[in-house]
Amino acid sequence: MPTASPTTTDEAPRPAAPPPTPGVWAPLRPLVLRLHFYAGVFVAPFLLIAAATGFLYAGAFQVEKWVYAHELTVPAGTSEIPVSEQVAAARTAYPEGTVAAVRPAPESDATTRVLLSGVKGVAATHTLAVFVDPYTGEVRGALEQYGSSGALPLRTWIDEFHRDLHLGETGRLYSEFAASWLWVIAGGGLVLWFSRRRALRRVRGTTGRRRTLGLHGTVGAWAAAGFLFLSATGLTWSTYAGAHIDELRTSLGQSTPSVAATAGGDHAGHGASAAAGSAERGVGLDRVLAAARAEGLGDPVEIVPPADETSAYVVRQIQRSWPEKQDAVAVDPTTGEVTDVVRFDDYPVLAKLTRWGIDLHTGVLFGVVNQLLLMALASSLVLLIGWGYLMWWRRGRGGAFGRPIPRGAWQQVSPRLLVPLAAGIAVLGYFVPLLGIPLAGFLAVDAALGEIAHRRGRAGRAGRTGTTEPKETPAATEAKETAET
């Protein structure tokens, strides 16, 4: 009877190959997913307000031209009367307060604005703009004005609603909070979207939650760069993060320069201040404007009278559209000579970038095109928020909001990566406190709730017999999400 030949070494079963070592991204993705989910849920209401009011603000520029057409425009004439006579006409009609600045008509069909401060009933941070026909001296009306862009009441109201909800300095925390988290949500969503398999990014031919996810991801990916820009530029003039940015720019020698407003050109008092005195001090407005024109300052310009007897006139360009016109000169009120000049071309790089960024954020850098792009970004943010909440609802199968992403994602991250990541977040949280403080608070509450849930679960298991279902891990949740979509 034949016997089976012994198995050779070559025929012996080979040991199974070890599973592939997960890359750096594998343990991080659930962490990013959890952060994106919770940040989206809790920050979205603030972002929704910022998006809606930002949409209105971007459209307010064109509406303002129509609503205030009588004050802003006049029939084009052939010969303008001197600026000093225009100011005198404004002061005759509105003698209260003092002349803070004068903006000569920048175009042939535009009015001159005489800006008065200290007028009863006008906010301290605002001025009363008196509109004068530059050809006849007729006063066509007066409106409250705010800011360097010359916002009139309609746009000012929307601007303040967008910035602080009409709650003053306290209300500004809302907009800083939204700006502090917008880049985190946008960046996290972008990373999650591009880390998904290409087949799972499709929108066409899909339905239900997967279609919503596809729309959310696709629109978010296209708009992410705009959101990152809005977040960064919004933080530059925020209360807390903005202060840190200013300190950093100062330490790097990148502050925005200002013309010396001291008569005689003494640079010890660097920085022009708003005037509270008469507009017709010394040589007068017409000679001052002529001196500025000789230095190449074209329209639009603003003339700021001397603040006191030791101060000079300051004439500065105020064009915020491309190309920027931001040159400024100081003119001695006794001689009419230019004592100091600051050119926009000589601004430090960060000062230029800050100026361009703010003007692009506010919709003035590229005019109507800029404003339409901002309105499109605001609309996309509203849609993304709606789709995000819809996906959360559908995780509960349409009957209630779905379960949150489980805790414990950070436990899957290697300490070699987790420690520097935590240190970086701590540093970032210091410079952007309305990101760092809420994040620290969320982690503390989340850890406390997790500990409570853990103790309850342990007590429940101790009182039961048999087996219990294993706790769902973040990785398992993500796998389930992928399968569902």
Question: Which range, 64-73, 260-269, 306-315, has the best average confidence (pLDDT)?
Answer: 64-73
DSSP bridge partners of 311: 262
Q: pLDDT tens digit string along 81-109?
A: 999 999 999 999 999 999 999 999 999 99
Domain annotation covers residue 314: yes
Mention every residue, 6+ apart, whose C-beta is less than 8 A from residue 353. Answer: none
Residues 244 and 369 in one domain: yes
State residue 37's pLDDT score: 87
Chosen domain end from 107, 123, 151: 151
State residue 404's pLDDT score: 60
Residues 47 and 168 in one domain: yes
Residues 437 and 301 in one domain: no
What is the Cα–Cα distance from 281 to 314, expressed in whole angstroms?
A: 12
pLDDT higher at 347 or 478? 347
pLDDT at 206 over 90: no
pLDDT at 485 over 80: no
Residues 188 and 249 in one domain: yes
Cα angle for residues 321, 323, 324 (degrees, 5° grid): 65
**Residue found by looking up tokens 């993500």 in the block:** 478
One-letter amino acid for residue 222 of the chain = W
Q: Whole-prediction pTM value?
A: 0.84
State residue 406's pLDDT score: 66
Backbone φ and ψ of 338, nearest 5°: -75, 125
Q: pLDDT tens digit string along 403-432?
A: 566 666 666 777 787 788 889 989 999 999
The neighbour count for residue 68, using CB atoms within 10 Å, is: 19
Cα angle for residues 303, 139, 137 (degrees, 5° grid): 70
Domain annotation covers residue 273: yes
Domain annotation covers residue 304: yes
State residue 265's pLDDT score: 45
Residues 247 and 376 in one domain: yes
Domain annotation covers residue 281: yes
Residues 394 and 431 in one domain: no
Residues 169 and 192 in one domain: yes
State residue 210's pLDDT score: 83
Residues 185 and 327 in one domain: no
State residue 391's pLDDT score: 87
| CB distance 103 to 318 below 8 Å | yes
Q: Residue 425 is part of which domain span?
A: 415-457
How distant is the alpha carbon of residue 98 from its chain centre?
Answer: 34
Residues 425 and 451 in one domain: yes
pLDDT higher at 40 or 223? 223
How distant is the alpha carbon of residue 419 from its chain centre?
Answer: 30
| CB distance 326 to 354 below 8 Å | no
Residues 340 and 373 in one domain: no
Mean pLDDT of 462-480: 53
Domain annotation covers residue 170: yes
Mean pLDDT of 23-38: 77
What is the Cα–Cα distance from 379 to 52, expressed in whole angstroms?
A: 8
Residues 143 and 292 in one domain: no
Q: pLDDT tens digit string along 319-336?
A: 999 999 999 999 999 999
State residue 19's pLDDT score: 52
State residue 13's pLDDT score: 55
What is the Cα–Cα distance from 357 to 234, expressed in whole angstroms?
A: 9
pLDDT at 474 over 80: no
pLDDT at 202 over 80: no
Cα angle for residues 278, 312, 139 (degrees, 5° grid): 35
HEC per residue, the chain: CCCCCCCCCCCCCCCCCCCCCCCCHHHHHHHHHHHHHHHHHHHHHHHHHHHHHHHHHHHHHHHHHHHCHHHHECCCCCCCCCHHHHHHHHHHHCCCCEEEEEECCCCCCECEEEEEECCCCCCCCCEEEEEECCCCCCEEEEEEEECCCCECHHHHHHHHHHHHCCCCCCCHHHHHHHHHHHHHHHHHHHHHHHHCCHHHHCCCCCCHHHHHHHHHHHHHHHHHHHHHHHHHHHHHCCCCHHHHHHHHHHHCCCCCCCCECECCCCHHHECCCCCCCCCCCCCCHHHHHHHHHHCCCCCCEEEECCCCCCECEEEEECECCCCCECCEEEECCCCCCEEEEECHHHCCHHHHHHHHHHHHHHCCCCHHHHHHHHHHHHHHHHHHHHHHHHHHHHHCCCCCCCCCCCCCHHHHCCHHHHHHHHHHHHHHHHHCHHHHHHHHHHHHHHHHHHHHHHHHHHHHHHCCCCCCCCCCCHHHHHHHHHHHC
Mention every residue, 6+ apart, whose C-beta is less than 8 A from residue 164. Answer: 170, 171, 172, 174, 175
Chosen domain end from 89, 121, 151: 151
Domain annotation covers residue 354: no
State residue 260's pLDDT score: 92
Q: pLDDT tens digit string along 139-183?
A: 999 999 999 999 999 999 999 999 999 999 899 999 999 999 999
Domain annotation covers residue 333: yes
Domain annotation covers residue 262: no
Mean pLDDT of 185-195: 90
Chosen domain end from 121, 151, 181: 151
State residue 15's pLDDT score: 55
Please state, rounded to an integer, the average pLDDT across all residues of the chain: 85
pLDDT higher at 398 or 381? 381
Residues 139 and 171 in one domain: no
Count of structural domains within the chain: 4
State residue 31's pLDDT score: 80
In this prediction, residue 25 has a pLDDT band, given cuts at 50, 70 and 90, of: low
Q: pLDDT tens digit string along 105-142?
A: 999 999 999 999 999 999 999 999 999 999 999 999 99
CATH of the domain at 90: 3.10.450
